[in-house]
Amino acid sequence: MSIRPLRITGIAGALMYLFHLSRKAGAALGNEEAPGLLVAVAIVSLLFSIRAVVTEKTMGAEATGQKDFLWGVSLGGWATIALRLLTDR
């Protein structure tokens, strides 16, 4: 079994956790959430997804770490958006 899915999942999970932690810390300090934050996360996630696909197709095995990072960040961003949309109702 390849360790690659575990690395991607770990990066995605870490991003989701850090986003949640940042949101809780901001709320505890009384900071209001910036309007359009989910749109910004979606745009960044889209850019990372495009970069992950391009890197996957053009780079060889020497870039496996970079590819895993790109996939992890893009999937973490999309999962963060989905989780926020499902739980904030």
List pLDDT tens digits, range 44-55: 999 999 999 999
Residue 1 has a pLDDT of 65
Please give the model's pTM, rounded to 2 decimal places.
0.89
Residue 60 has a pLDDT of 87
Residue bearing tokens 């809780």? 24
CB 56 within 8 A of CB 67: yes
User: 10-residue block means of pLDDT along the chain (89 residues)?
Assistant: 91 96 93 91 97 94 93 97 87
Residue 61 has a pLDDT of 87
C-alpha distance from residue 20 to each of 44, 46, 56 (Å): 17, 20, 29
CB 68 within 8 A of CB 9: no
Residue 10 has a pLDDT of 97
Looking at the 3D structure of the chain, how many domains does it have? 1
Query: Could you list the residue range(s) of the whole structural domain that residue 67 is in?
Result: 4-87
Residue 66 has a pLDDT of 95
Residue 89 has a pLDDT of 60
